[in-house]
Amino acid sequence: MADAQDAKTKIVDAMMKLAAERRFEDIAIREIATEAGVSLADFRDAFPSKGATLAGFSRRIDRAVLTTPLGELANSSARDRLFDVLMRRLDAMAPYRAALRGISAWIRRDPTALLAMNQLTVNSMRFMLEAAEIESDGPAGAVKVQGLAFAWARVFAIWLEDTPPDFAKTMAALDRELTRGDRLVAGLQRLDRFAAPLRAVARAATKGRAGASRENEPAADSAV
């Protein structure tokens, strides 16, 4: 188990190193394996494809964020908690900015990669919401997660070109996106309150039809 995890770590490190130097689509699996010092068999055991290594990188960043508690922010507003979580995510990504620029450019050139990256982002944003102690379950949660994924993509694009160390444009963009998100969530909550009576009527009607159906069923024959 330790050897397998070590191979994954080396492969992700090698991929990010090469991605900082060359176009992502020009990097072959065998080159990543060579850079990582593992065999192709080890690569295959670790990841099913080159693109799958991006999922490994995403999980690395997720873990870096999730292992850090909210601390004093635990008692702050949901918005402030999420702002802090997402900024911590960007901090964790900072050593890989050069590689991420190249990978981002590749994603823009490849529609299939864009769809796959959206799913990766959705998975990560679900855990970012949980880290901020914000509900992510149910239909409303699904909308929040996808909305946050879109917002993250916009903030991420600004962060790639922003100026360290203060990242003022990034922080301003994240603030705007979370403000939009607050409005969306408020709208969803209003819609949920409006729809609640309709759902109750629908449930009652369904139960009524089910009861009538049972009453109309022929009685079972008595045993002789």
The answer to whether residue 58 scores a pLDDT higher than 80 is yes
Quote the CA–CA distance of 78 and 81 in Å, as a whole number: 5
Closest to 42 (Cα-Cα) out of 54, 30, 52, 51: 30
Mean pLDDT (whole number) for 176-199: 58
Q: Which two tokens stand for residue 93?
A: 């990504």
Average predicted confidence (pLDDT) for the chain? 84
Q: At what angle do helices 111-131 and 97-109 cross, to 10 degrees?
A: 130
Helix (H, G, I), strand (E, B) or coil at 48: coil
Lowest mean pLDDT among 100-104, 151-155, 211-215: 211-215
pLDDT recorded at residue 2: 55
H-run or E-run covering 103 = helix 97-109
Domain boundaries, the chain: 1-50, 54-210
pLDDT recorded at residue 203: 55
pLDDT recorded at residue 210: 53
Quote the CA–CA distance of 42 and 29 in Å, as a whole number: 11
Closest to 151 (Cα-Cα) out of 120, 131, 121: 121
Given pLDDT bands bounded at 50, 70 and 90, which one contains residue 217? low
Mean pLDDT (whole number) for 114-131: 94
The answer to whether residue 199 scores a pLDDT higher than 80 is no
Q: Which two tokens stand for residue 162?
A: 């922003």
Quote the CA–CA distance of 173 and 159 in Å, as a whole number: 9
Quote the CA–CA distance of 110 and 106 in Å, as a whole number: 6
pLDDT recorded at residue 104: 95
Q: Higher model confidence: residue 185 or residue 35? A: 35
pLDDT recorded at residue 211: 56
Architecture of domain 1-50: Orthogonal Bundle (1.10)
Mean pLDDT (whole number) for 12-29: 96
The answer to whether residue 133 scores a pLDDT higher than 70 is yes
Closest to 148 (Cα-Cα) out of 169, 165, 123, 117: 123
The answer to whether residue 218 scores a pLDDT higher than 80 is no
CA dihedral for 22, 25, 31, 36, sign (positive or negative): positive
pLDDT recorded at residue 123: 94
Given pLDDT bands bounded at 50, 70 and 90, which one contains residue 137? confident
pLDDT recorded at residue 183: 64
Mean pLDDT (whole number) for 162-184: 87
